[in-house]
Amino acid sequence: MQVDPRGPRFGASVTTVVLVAVLVTGSWALLAAQAVVFAIATFLGLRYAPYGLVFKVLIRPRLAPPRELEDAAAPRFAQGVGLVFALVGTAGYATGITWLGIGATALALAAAFLNAAFGFCLGCEMYLLIRRITAKDRTEKDSPEGKVPA
């Protein structure tokens, strides 16, 4: 599936605002709601992501067509990374381990802000790095030099 790259960037902007609100209020419920948003995007796909739907209905019709589309796999992976941090943060806040909640939320905020402000998707870069490493490993295992004689 291909996506307009402005959609995930819009989602990162909304996420940035939500995560700042979590850090200001210490609300585990708000962070849990953000985790649900991440989970929908991760497990159902970006097409069903709440912020993506807002972008599709309210924002994209007012913009010129994108110059190019991008594969949805990397942003979807990034949503999964955000989900992990949101779940850890929620658990920290909910159990009284406030430093864990603050730390996990701050890390997720940093990644969301990088995407929102600069278009640099940290989770997407992780995805691409993992793909390169695993592709290299598969190539080495399949090459004649990588095989062990019987």
The pLDDT value given to residue 110: 98
> In the prediction, which pLDDT does 147 show?
56
What's residue 21's pLDDT?
98
Task: Return the ∠ at Cα 6 (arms to 132 and 55), rounded to 5°.
Answer: 130
Provide the domain count of the chain: 1
Q: Is the pLDDT of residue 145 over 80?
A: no
pLDDT, one tens digit per residue, over 26-39 is: 999 999 999 999 99
**What is the span of the domain harbouring residue 21?**
2-146
Banded model confidence at residue 144, pLDDT cuts 50, 70, 90: low
Does pLDDT of 77 surpass 90?
yes
- Predicted confidence band of residue 16 (pLDDT cuts 50, 70, 90): very high
Q: What is the mean pLDDT of residues 48-74?
A: 96
85: left (phi over 0), alpha (psi -120 to 50) or beta: alpha
Per-residue confidence at 141, pLDDT binned at 50, 70, 90? confident
Tell me: pLDDT of 128 over 60.
yes
How many CB atoms are closer than 10 A to CB 55? 24
**C-beta separation of 122 from 114 below 8 A:** yes
Q: What is the pLDDT at residue 139?
A: 72
